[in-house]
Homo-oligomer: A and B are copies of this chain.
């Protein structure tokens, strides 16, 4: 049986760790791993605990909610592999990397389906035995396109939605529907090179390092809370196209890492930042 994961995010006050671990201890649970963080300035407390023991830990949650301060968020996950749906367009590297990890049993989640607005990636997805849905954006407006995508998504009831180089801007209403549950990979070291063609911008600026950023999707494009970032060195001999090619390795590794962190419930939102227990 996988361990239970308990997430707590609440106003800080004295004695929280003692109280919370007391609830688990008294109910007979054994803590395997425990991480806390206090933002001393914002007076906010974050905790992630992996524990094992008696079944039915739901009572733990209801008891905690009674003793924790107002405005506390408690979440318990007892499932090893949470369901996700991937959205893509036509680039294979991020999607392919997630598929291979899924094939190897390395991804701590279950890819329920892949939805794309082009047919291109179908040939890549189908052999893995995962449903592929092409939902074209042609001849329809954005809300209609998103409505069709959402209909497909609903059939799979995913916990998280992963944008693996999905090259369409999402409307606020779609984002609100899956609030804080959509993960995107942006092909620059944010906040540098916000917007279109970041590698061209990077080339023009003559940077010596390029990167990629995985973030939670919010209404403001490219400004959501950052989960993970990584970089690689480039030099004067890289054209914009060469930067794009080199950047793909960073994009896929960063996205896979962010997806893993999110699926293992290690990522907490904290204003426009994140607390990530690695």
Contact = CB atoms under 8 A, between A and B. Distances in A.
Interface of A: 14-15, 17-18, 21-22, 24-25, 30-41, 91-93, 96-97, 99-101, 103-104, 106, 123-124, 126-128, 189-193, 204-209, 211, 225-231, 235-237, 239, 245, 248-249, 253, 256, 270-276, 278
A37 B237 contact: yes
Taken together, the copies of this chain in the complex come to 4
A97 to B, nearest CB: 7
B208 A226 contact: yes
Given A33-B38, A236-B37, A103 B124 contact: yes
A249 to B, nearest CB: 6
A209 B230 contact: yes
Nearest to A206: B273
Given A14-B25, A38-B33, A100-B97, A229 B209 contact: yes
Contacts of A36: 34
A207 B39 CA distance: 16
Contacts of A190: 192, 205, 207
A27 to B, nearest CB: 11
Given A192-B192, A206-B273, A231-B231, A30 B17 contact: no
Contacts of A104: 91-93, 96
A14 to B, nearest CB: 5
A93 B97 CA distance: 9
A208 to B, nearest CB: 4
| A-B residue pairs, 8 tightest by C-beta | A127-B127, A206-B273, A96-B100, A18-B21, A192-B192, A15-B25, A236-B275, A208-B229
A274 B236 contact: yes
Contacts of A24: 18
A263 to B, nearest CB: 14
Contacts of A39: 236
A18 B271 CA distance: 29
Nearest to A224: B206
Contacts of A225: 206
A124 B104 CA distance: 10
A206 B226 contact: yes
Contacts of A193: 191
Contact of A209 (B31, B101, B189, B227): B189
A198 to B, nearest CB: 11
A41 B93 CA distance: 28
Contact of A206 (B30, B237, B272): B272
Nearest to A29: B14
